Structure 1
């Protein structure tokens, strides 16, 4: 765990540069850069879409923090000032995804944009930002795994780690998910170049990420994230199932629509 990346010493003041915040910032920049590049390739305005991506990431960040605060409501009720200490970690991805998706659909409808084309452009940017966010989670010591004896196990002593698991070999679930997200990122870029219909990239993301997340959840050891069925089905796995089913059904519909359009030509 490496929570502090660098400390700027100005003599009269010390400014800490937290690794968690730095990784999130890198993810933001790469996510927006990805959206700009894909927008240009799609014949869309890269500046407008980059601005939208920025606000989506901001709403996502806010939603992720709010859901984390809700999961630890008793703690933050007693320590309200800690709510703003985002540099110490503490984001729930699905909270961010819900908030960002809600704003995105509001924006799409208001400006009468093609939802499917926009999802194709935005999804890879979200994935790369998320990947670097998971690296930040490793540095902060949150989103940790279960005890294990695998050779690549890691030990954490963050305040976010349960006392019984501090300095105990754990599955590096943050690394597992980051690696999976990097693979997904490049996979989506490939699909973007070869897609047969608008929405193929975005819907593929909404199908594959729930699978990734559900598998990662098996190795997670931070029980604070909540369970729908105690010890069996986590909240994230439950949401993943719903998202996967919805995305799969919509992908089938879009694929059939694309096949009909081809047959008419």
Structure 2
């Protein structure tokens, strides 16, 4: 049995640079680059968008960590020094998305930017960041599923380094991080392939498609995980939110089409 991959990429004296942080940062950088390019095409100020990102990123990180800490409070109450140790993992995507969405809404209102259009621009790039970010979980050996067998993992035709990294706590585990990363990447491909089709999306519907796509996949993948955050020790919090976001996106899509028949297309000039 090979040893697990080292989660620390570089050691500089007492300073340790973790793969988790490097991978998350890579996802963020790629997302920002793609969002800037699409903003230019949609004639949205890239300067304003960059300012918004500078506000959204720290709040997204705080939201992701705060969400996780709240639902794991007994542990962090006993280990308060761990609250800020984000390099050990423990970042909840839903907390990040909720916090970032609030910042985007407030910022766009203040700067008189079209909120739905900005969300449309950001949606595929955020999903790409999520697909990449799951590999940070891989390096930390978290976001895994139930016990499985070596033969099952080999039957998925996975590279050996993934199979070996899925040997956790004395057993092979379902690579649910990988399932979600692939689902997210498929969503990116779908959104990028469709959002420039004329008259397909009304403004706001690229974002709503992203919400529905991610929530649908996350509901089922979350059910496979063994490290889920729980509510009342019976409900998986992420599954509850996935249901809320999925049906919320469907209802909002229908309501906007029904009550606002003159909504501009995504490709219309702002």
Do both proteins adopt the same fold according to a TM-score greater than 0.5, normalized to the shorter chain?
Answer: yes
Question: In 2, distance between residues paired with 1:228 and 1:209?
Answer: 24
Report if aligned partners of 1:157, 1:166 keep a CA contact under 8 Å in 2.
no
Report if aligned partners of 2:143, 2:176 keep a CA contact under 8 Å in 1.
yes
Secondary structure of the 1:193 match is coil
Question: In 1, distance between residues paired with 2:106 and 2:208?
Answer: 18
Report if aligned partners of 1:68, 1:92 keep a CA contact under 8 Å in 2.
yes
Q: Which residue does the alignment assign to 1:215?
A: 220
Report if aligned partners of 1:7, 1:14 keep a CA contact under 8 Å in 2.
no
CA spacing shift, 1:14–1:260, aligned 2, 3 Å: closer
Q: Which residue does the alignment assign to 2:28?
A: 28
What's the offset of the Cα at 1:260? 5.3
Report if aligned partners of 1:157, 1:167 keep a CA contact under 8 Å in 2.
no
Secondary structure of the 2:171 match is coil
Structure with bigger RCO (C-alpha 8 Å, 6+ apart): 2
Secondary structure of the 2:145 match is coil
Pair 1:251-2:256 in alignment: no
Q: Which residue does the alignment assign to 1:179?
A: 182
Question: In 1, distance between residues paired with 2:232 and 2:31?
Answer: 32
Pair 1:226-2:230 in alignment: yes
Root-mean-square deviation over aligned CA pairs: 2.4
TM-score normalized by structure 2? 0.84
Secondary structure of the 1:6 match is strand
- List gaps (5 residues or longer) in structure 1: 159-164
Q: Which residue does the alignment assign to 1:161?
A: none
CA spacing shift, 1:47–1:146, aligned 2, 3 Å: same
What's the offset of the Cα at 1:50? 2.6
Question: In 2, distance between residues paired with 1:257 and 1:114?
Answer: 19
Question: In 2, distance between residues paired with 1:237 and 1:22?
Answer: 28
Secondary structure of the 1:84 match is coil
Question: In 2, distance between residues paired with 1:88 and 1:259?
Answer: 48
Q: Which residue does the alignment assign to 1:43?
A: 43
Q: Which runs of 4 or more aligned residues in structure 1 lie more than 6 Å from their structure 2 counterparts after TM superposition? A: none
Report if aligned partners of 1:20, 1:139 keep a CA contact under 8 Å in 2.
yes
TM-score normalized by structure 1? 0.85
Report if aligned partners of 1:64, 1:92 keep a CA contact under 8 Å in 2.
yes
